[in-house]
Amino acid sequence: MALRGWAQRGWGCGQAWAPPVVGGCPELSAAQAPRLLGRRLNLLLQQKCGFRKAPRKVEPRRSDTGSSGEAYKRSALIPPLEETVFYPSPYPIRTLVKPFFFTVGFTGCAFGSAAIWQYESLKSRVQSYFDGIKADWLDSIRPQKEGDLRKEINKWWNSLSDGQRTVTGIIAANALVFCLWRVPSLHRTMIRYFTSNPASKVLCSPMLLSTFSHFSLFHMAANMYVLWSFSSSIVNILGQEQFVAVYLSAGVISNFVSYVCKVATGRYGPSLGASGAIMTVLAAVCTKIPEGRLAIIFLPVFTFTAGNALKAIIAMDTAGMILGWKFFDHAAHLGGALFGIWYITYGHELIWKNREPLVKIWHEIRTNGPKKGGGSK
């Protein structure tokens, strides 16, 4: 019976030879028995050679493994990363050296450029004032066209506050990057340069570019709505030029705080979005105007003070960072909020009010300029 079962099943690459069965038992002659044993030995050898164990495949180390990687894949705010491999540095502390110097250098350049921008704006306002008077006079004597699209756009633009006009360019940049995420052939490039991750080969430029990057439409819409809502207040407090410097610096600083937290905890993964910079704007306004009344988008009837809102946000992000909540980058949120509080309390006095030496140097360059003639006396 055992022999019949073995013959019917077959082993190796082909079916075994089955002798005729009479009455349920095989009848073997003296000549057939050695032949059957030889075939069985050959089949066993074929089986052993045919099912050789495959060599172990060495896979590169991934930064999005374990609970952290699963969490990022589950989030609808993060692009799919199945085809992306990250390489955490064997020396995590060294990973933070370049981002640290980039953060310091970029922040200094941002505020220096803002100071020069303000100087040039003040010089051009006088000329713009007289140009505006001339343009208004020409419009008054020129026949007006009904339904002129350009005139309607200018009318809408002039109806905006200074803060809303300032953030319009930021919103347009975020919308452009969001459209680039919709192009499948650009996904690898977008993940490399528009998501910040200390396990990526590109460390510095994504700290700024990811501030304008959103993969989810809801994520972008919520962030841009908050930015638009607080734009008038923050520009009235800081001015247009200083606000731009604070916003860009906040994006880089919040990403650096995120880098530090990821390296310290070993929870590597990509981050993107303007939430860190927007948290700086929100924290600065709430610190400057703590008695202001705020409301949630979906619950406009329920209002609370700006000071209480800021305390609740800091408490939630602190708990999320300590407990390892993975849907948002709570470290970036907390870093942006703390930077906003520090800047409105101390940073404005330490940085912006000490810009005078740089402005004087720039004024001398603009006033004197290169001397003509160039000959020696």
Contact predicate 336/259, CB 8 Å: no
DSSP 39: H
CA–CA distance, 321 with 235 (Å, rounded to integer): 30
Residue of 200, 249, 258, 275 with catalytic role: 275
354 by DSSP, 3-state: which? helix
Token digits for 185?
Answer: 């052939």
Strand 25-26 and strand 21-22: pairing?
antiparallel
Question: How far apart (Å, rounded) are the C-alpha atoms in residues 222 and 227?
Answer: 9
Identify the bridge partners of residue 299 per DSSP, sorted by sequence position.
Answer: 296
Tell me how far apart the alpha carbons of residues 266 and 363 are, in angstroms, rounded to a whole number.
49
DSSP string for residues in 122-175? HHHHHHHHHHHHHHHHHHHHSPPPTT-HHHHHHHHHHHS-HHHHHHHHHHHHHH
Token representation of residue 269: 């993964």
Give the C-alpha separation, 243 to 245, whole Å: 5
Burial class of 62 by CB neighbour count within 10 A (0 to 12, 13 to 18, 19+): middle
What the block records as the tokens of 212 is 């304008």
Task: Show Cβ contacts of residue 216 under 8 Å, excluding neighbours closer than 6 positions.
Answer: 76, 77
Residue holding tokens 């069985």? 40
Q: How many residues does the chain have?
A: 377
Task: Decide if 275 is catalytic.
Answer: yes
Q: Catalytic pick from 187, 219, 330, 333?
A: 333
Q: Exposed, middle or buried, 168 (CB in 10 Å: 0-12/13-18/19+)?
A: middle
Nearest-angstrom CA–CA distance, 255 and 91: 19
Q: Which helix (H) or strand (E) holds 158?
A: helix 149-159
Give the residue numbers marked as catalytic: 275, 333
